A and B are shown apart, each in its own frame.
Chain A
Amino acid sequence: SQQGEEDPQALSIQEGENATMNCSYKTSINNLQWYRQNSGRGLVHLILIRSNEREKHSGRLRVTLDTSKKSSSLLITASRAADTASYFCATLTGKGAGGTSYGKLTFGQGTILTVHP
C-alpha cells in the first residue's frame, strides 16, 4: 500500500454512532494530520498528532498514533449528519538533515463517511 492509506474506503452509520477510520503509512514521519473535505470543496484541517505523541483529543475527535505499526486512527464520537464528508490522513515528511524541504504532506485515498439522520 502507499503512504497514507485509509480504511475503510467508505463508512455509513447512523447519527449518534461513533465512526472510526484508520490510516497506515510506510515511511518515518514528523507528524500525521487529518483533514476533512466536503464534496468538491476545500480541505479543512482537523487535528495534528506528532510522532512522539500517542493520543490526542479535540472536541468529538480522538486521534491515536502507533509509530511501531505505522498506523493512526481517527474516532468521531456521537456523529452528526453534518459530519458527512471525506476524511483524509496526511503524513508530513521533509527531506531530512541537510535538506531544504520545509515539509510536504502525503495524503491517503480517504474514507467517505456518510452519517444518516
Chain B
Amino acid sequence: EPEVTQTPSHQVTQMGQEVILRCVPISNHLYFYWYRQILGQKVEFLVSFYNNEISEKSEIFDDQFSVERPDGSNFTLKIRSTKLEDSAMYFCASGVPGLAGTLTDTQYFGPGTRLTVL
C-alpha cells in the first residue's frame, strides 16, 4: 500500500541553523500539508500546498518557514533559522480531492521527523 515517507526520522540542530525536512507524498495525491506536534501537545496545522503554491497557512508559519515541491515527488519544509521552540515532531500529509470537489477527504500522514533544536 502506498504511504507517505519522511526523512530524516530525527534531526538534531543548533539554534539559528537552517533545516530542511523532506517528504515524499503518495504519488497520485495533489494536496500536501505540514503539521507539527510539540511534545505532549496537540497536532497543529502549519501549511497546505496545492498546484505549486501555498493555499493556507497558520499563524505559526511565519517568514522563517517555507515549503517547496522542487520536483515531481518531494515536498520540503525549510526552517531558515531554528529556535528552541521549533523542537517538535513534524508531520507531512497528502490527500486527494474529496466528495466536496475541492476539500481533501482523508489525509495520509507520514511517520514524522523529530526535530530537536539545541
A residues in contact (CB < 8 Å) with B: 4, 30-31, 33, 35, 40-45, 48, 50, 88, 90, 92, 94-95, 100-110
A23 to chain B, nearest CB (A): 12
A90 to chain B, nearest CB (A): 8
Query: CA of A102 to CA of B56 in the docked complex: distance in angstroms?
Result: 8
Query: CA of A94 to CA of B33 in the docked complex: distance in angstroms?
Result: 13
Given known pairs A43-B43, A88-B42, the reply for A103 and B103 (CB within 8 Å) is yes
Give the contacts of B85-118 with A (CB-CB under 8 A): 89, 91, 93, 95, 97-100, 102-112, 114
Is the CB of B65 closer than 8 A to any CB of chain A?
A: no
Hey, which chain B residues are within 8 Å of A92, CB to CB? 103-105
Hey, which chain B residues are within 8 Å of A48, CB to CB? 105-106
B36 to chain A, nearest CB (A): 11
Contact with A along B37-81 (1 / 0, CB 8 A): 000011111001010000110100000000000000000000000
| Tally of chain B residues near chain A (CB < 8 A) | 33
Query: CA of A102 to CA of B102 in the docked complex: distance in angstroms?
Result: 6
B102-A94 in contact (CB<8A): yes
Hey, which chain B residues are within 8 Å of A108, CB to CB? 42
B110-A42 in contact (CB<8A): yes
Query: CA of A42 to CA of B6 in the docked complex: distance in angstroms?
Result: 10
A103-B31 in contact (CB<8A): yes
For A4, A94, A95, the residue with the greatest tally of chain B CB atoms inside 10 Å of its CB is: A94
A107-B42 in contact (CB<8A): yes
Hey, which chain A residues are within 8 Å of B95, CB to CB? 102-103
B111-A42 in contact (CB<8A): yes
B80 to chain A, nearest CB (A): 23
A45-B45 in contact (CB<8A): no
Query: CA of A33 to CA of B102 in the docked complex: distance in angstroms?
Result: 17
Query: CA of A104 to CA of B57 in the docked complex: distance in angstroms?
Result: 9
Hey, which chain B residues are within 8 Å of A42, CB to CB? 91, 109-112
Query: CA of A2 to CA of B69 in the docked complex: distance in angstroms?
Result: 32
